[in-house]
Amino acid sequence: MLDIFICEDNKQQLNSLIKIINNLILFENYDMRIKVATHDPYEILKVVEESNYPCIYFIDIELGSSINGIALSEKIRKYDSRGFIIFITTHDNMRPLTFQYKVEALDYIIKNNIKSIEQRISECLVNVLEKYLKATHEVVKIFHIDKEDRTIHIEYNQMFYIETSATAHKVILHANDRQIEFYGNLDKIIKVLDKRFCRCHKSFIVNKEKIKEVDKKNRVIRLTNDEVCLVSRRMFKEIS
Amino acid sequence: MVLLKAIISFFIISICAINLSQIKFKAVKYLFWILSISIIITITSFLSELIAGIICMVLIVIMLYYKKKKIYTSIFYAILAMLLSVLSDNIVSSIITDGFQNGVEIKERFENDIVVYLIISIFILLLAFSISKLLGYLINRKRLIENVTANKKYGLILSSFLVLTFIFIYASVFVEKVSNPLLTIGIYVLYFLVIIIIVYFLITVTKKENEIINRKKELEQLSQYTKNLELLYIDMRKFRHDYINVLAALNGYIEDDNIEGLTEYFHNNIIPFSNKVIANNSELGLLSLVKIPEVKGIISLKIIYAQEKNIKVNIEISEEIDEINIETLDLCRILGILLDNAIESATNTENAALSIAFINNPFTISIVIANSFFGEIPSINRMFTEGFSTKGEGRGLGLSTLREIVNSYTQTTLETIIENNEFRQVVRIRKKPFIVQI
């Protein structure tokens, strides 16, 4: 059962949100329920403190309170680091990058007309459910880092290799469509990862499923995306 | 004999000096200078050769100053001329001693025989003359020395360096005669110490100069920013004016109870007008939250540039940004590279868009720059290789430079993401340097 929290200061809009979400749950037979729907962000915080995580949050940006939606989400994140936050905002307050990088919001919905809001809420709930099932049933394994104000989720089968950066204590993760630098060391990371990963060199961890060929002469591994990893002499046998 | 020697060596040096500085003397005046100075030198050279040499230098400086009226330039030319004459003297005498079988013998006679002395002196003169003519041409063609010495600091550094070299050469000649190894070493050490000091000064002076140049740039960017704010203000006033007109028109329709006209007016005038209001976003206003003037400057400049290229710019800054924990110059370089690349690749795309966000989290400040792109994007890894560019050859230094700057700090990390037809880069800067937890 996923709990849903709604925070919206306009009473009319709050009521229509409740109606839309309840209808969706009923029609699609989702395993969810609205736990709190209020105009007061502090009420949300009170309940969030003792809830089953993760939860779903629909939050308006302008709350007419001493804190706004983003600040509320920051506080929520302290309890529920993997919750699904969806902002509801007017065009003027739309700041997609801030939503994503400040509080890791899942999505945002622009308030213009009721029809499109309904459509978007439905999309968001589908998305939430998909992500939630993936995470709980471990169909797909996910590399997860949550440190200070940085979280990284990435599927194992998207990862190509991890290498140490030119500066100490930093490593770079090379994945399908992204390259992410973060603080860490390969010794610790290899312990977290599963068997498909191999420490092929003192400064490389490679995903064995992504190897295209092993170049013995130059002692490198060529990956399916044409990138190249170094291999130490010792690890040659294990790879080939 | 002594008089002759003095006259000849002074003659050579002065010819060099005149060639180098490319000043013109009348023959009579020149003769007067030569004669009067030579006599002074001859008298002093009876006392000490060392003093005679120094006086010779001083007199040439005076001679040049008399014409040029610039002290550093005169010192520079005089000493360069002296060095040249010593150089050609050495070249000629070494050719004689090494080139001829009885070279040493000739050299001995050179000291005493007037005829041989004169012949050799002519050779020296010819050599010195041609070198100085060439050098003078090179130096004066671009007004090099005048430009350098126009700045008092550089003039001082340059001439003190040359004076030092002059003293060094004189001292080493003098020391050779005394032949005290300790003294020789002492002089060398002193020479190098002083050179190190001079180089140090040179570096600090250039550093200051660079700072001034940067400040100037900053100021230009800021003034551009103010100009744009003013434009924004004018836009606002226009809007107010339009707004009042619209209200007046509405009032007119209502008073006439003309609902049909009102409907038509609403659809034809007010809806397009309100669309215009939404589109006309005052993105620049948000920059007031950035409290670092250099950053404000560079961002406003790039935004304006992007808007000129019809790129829709979206800026997100929700909190004040007053401190970012890396050198401002590096920060500006990072922003410059990221924004230039983003603008370049967003141009000519459908719905061209550029987003800039500053996000203040408890431990880090993140700078996110995202842009739309068109066509295939090459592998991210290749993008960071030096010399790689989608824009053709010789332009691919941006991202590899960015990588270098990010690597030079422990508190910065870089992230590159391609998602939903958007190319996005995130630079995260920790508020405190990274410390390893054990």
Three-state secondary structure string covering chain A: CEEEEEECCCHHHHHHHHHHHHHHHHHHCCCEEEEEEECCHHHHHHHHCCCCCCCEEEEECCCCCCCCHHHHHHHHHHHCCCCEEEEEECHHHCCHHHHHHHHCCCEEEECCCHHHHHHHHHHHHHHHHHHHHHHHHCCCCEEEEEECCEEEEEEHHHEEEEEECCCCCEEEEEECCEEEEEECCHHHHHHHCCCCEEEEECCEEEEHHHEEEEECCCCEEEECCCCEEECCHHHHHHHC
**Model pLDDT for residues B196-208, shown as the tens digit of each residue:** 888 888 888 888 8
Instruction: Name the CA radius of gyration of chain A, rounded.
Output: 22
**Model pLDDT for residues B4-45, shown as the tens digit of each residue:** 776 777 777 777 777 777 777 677 777 777 777 777 777 776
From chain A, pick out residues whose CB is under 8 angstroms from the CB of B321.
none
The answer, yes or no, to whether the previous bond of B378 is cis (omega within 30 of 0) is no
What's the pLDDT band for B107 if we cut at 50, 70, 90? low
Average pLDDT over residues A100-125: 85
Residue B131's pLDDT is 83
d(CA B222, CA B301): 9
Chain-centre distance for alpha carbon A147: 13
d(CA A102, CA B362): 10
- Residue B31: which residues within 8 A CB-CB, separation 6 or more? none
Average pLDDT, chain B: 78
Average pLDDT over residues B255-273: 82
- Residue B44: which residues within 8 A CB-CB, separation 6 or more? B51, B52, B55
Residue B132 has pLDDT above 50, yes or no: yes
d(CA B245, CA B250): 9
Residue B178 has pLDDT above 90, yes or no: no
Residue B128 has pLDDT above 50, yes or no: yes
Q: Whose CA is closest to A57, among A144, A156, A134, A125?
A: A125
Residue carrying structure tokens 């630098």: A181
Average pLDDT over residues A208-236: 85
Which of B361, B410, B416 has its CB closest to that of A102? B361
Amino acid identity of residue A147, one-letter, is K
The least confident of A43-52, B65-74, B365-374, B414-423 is: B65-74
- Percentage of chain B with pLDDT > 90? 6
What's the pLDDT band for B425 if we cut at 50, 70, 90? very high
**Model pLDDT for residues B308-340, shown as the tens digit of each residue:** 888 888 888 888 888 888 888 889 889 989 998
Residue B392's pLDDT is 46
A181 or B246: which leads in pLDDT: A181
Q: Is the CB of B363 less than 8 angstroms away from the CB of A166? A: no
From chain A, pick out residues whose CB is under 8 angstroms from the CB of B436.
169
The least confident of A58-62, B218-222, B258-262, B399-403 is: B218-222
Instruction: Name the CA radius of gyration of chain B, rounded.
Output: 36
Average pLDDT over residues B57-66: 78
Residue B395's pLDDT is 44
Residue B354 has pLDDT above 70, yes or no: yes
Task: Locate B386 and state its tokens.
Answer: 């030096």
Residue B386's pLDDT is 55
What's the pLDDT band for A85 if we cut at 50, 70, 90? very high
**Shortest distance, CA B232 to any CA of chain A (angstroms):** 18
Residue B165's pLDDT is 78
Residue B393's pLDDT is 42
Is 0.90 surpassed by the pTM of this model? no
Average pLDDT over residues A71-75: 90
Range 315-354 of B in CB contact (< 8 A) with A: 316, 318
Helix or strand (DSSP H, E) at B432: none
Q: Tell me if B333 sits within 8 A of B302, measured CB to CB.
A: no
**Shortest distance, CA A208 to any CA of chain B (angstroms):** 19
Average pLDDT over residues B229-247: 78
Q: Tell me if A240 sits within 8 A of A215, measured CB to CB.
A: no
Average pLDDT over residues A164-171: 88
Q: Whose CA is closest to B422, among B371, B375, B374?
A: B371
Q: How far is CA B125 from CA A160, B79, B148, B166, in A?
A: 74, 17, 29, 20
Q: Is the CB of A180 less than 8 angstroms away from the CB of B436? A: no
Residue carrying structure tokens 């910065």: B412
B120 or B180: which leads in pLDDT: B120
Chain A residues within 8 A (CB-CB) of chain B? Answer: 70, 91, 95-98, 101-102, 148-150, 165-170, 174, 177-183, 225-227
Task: Locate B194 and state its tokens.
Answer: 């002083």
Q: Whose CA is closest to B14, among B53, B87, B64?
A: B64
- Percentage of chain A with pLDDT > 90? 16
- Residue B2: which residues within 8 A CB-CB, separation 6 or more? B42, B45, B46
B379 touches chain A (CB under 8 A): yes
A213 or B102: which leads in pLDDT: A213
Residue B109's pLDDT is 65
Do the bridges between strand B412-419 and strand B422-430 make them parallel or antiparallel, or are there none, so unpaired?
antiparallel
Residue A24 has pLDDT above 80, yes or no: yes
Residue carrying structure tokens 């009170």: A46
Residue B335's pLDDT is 92
Q: Is the CB of A167 less than 8 angstroms away from the CB of B368? A: no
Range 231-290 of B in CB contact (< 8 A) with A: 278
**Shortest distance, CA A67 to any CA of chain B (angstroms):** 13
Task: Show the 3-state SS of B269-280.
Answer: HHHHHHHHHHHC
Task: Locate A151 and state its tokens.
Answer: 């979280």
Residue of A nearest to B420 (CA): A177
Average pLDDT over residues B172-178: 69
Do the bridges between strand A32-38 and strand A2-7 make them parallel or antiparallel, or are there none, so unpaired?
parallel
Query: What domains can you pick out in chain A, each with its CATH number?
Result: 2-137 (3.40.50.2300), 142-239 (2.40.50.1020)
What's the pLDDT band for B194 if we cut at 50, 70, 90? confident
**Shortest distance, CA B411 to any CA of chain A (angstroms):** 9
From chain A, pick out residues whose CB is under 8 angstroms from the CB of B355.
96-97
B418 touches chain A (CB under 8 A): yes
β strands within B265-379, DSSP E: 312-317, 353-360, 364-372
Residue B57's pLDDT is 76
Task: Suggest the residue from A62, A158, A170, A229 to mutate for an interface test with chain B (most B CBs closer than 10 A).
Answer: A170
Task: Locate B39 and state its tokens.
Answer: 């006599």
From chain B, pick out residues whose CB is under 8 angstroms from the CB of A180.
415-417
Q: Tell me if A124 sits within 8 A of A109, measured CB to CB.
A: yes
**Shortest distance, CA A240 to any CA of chain B (angstroms):** 25
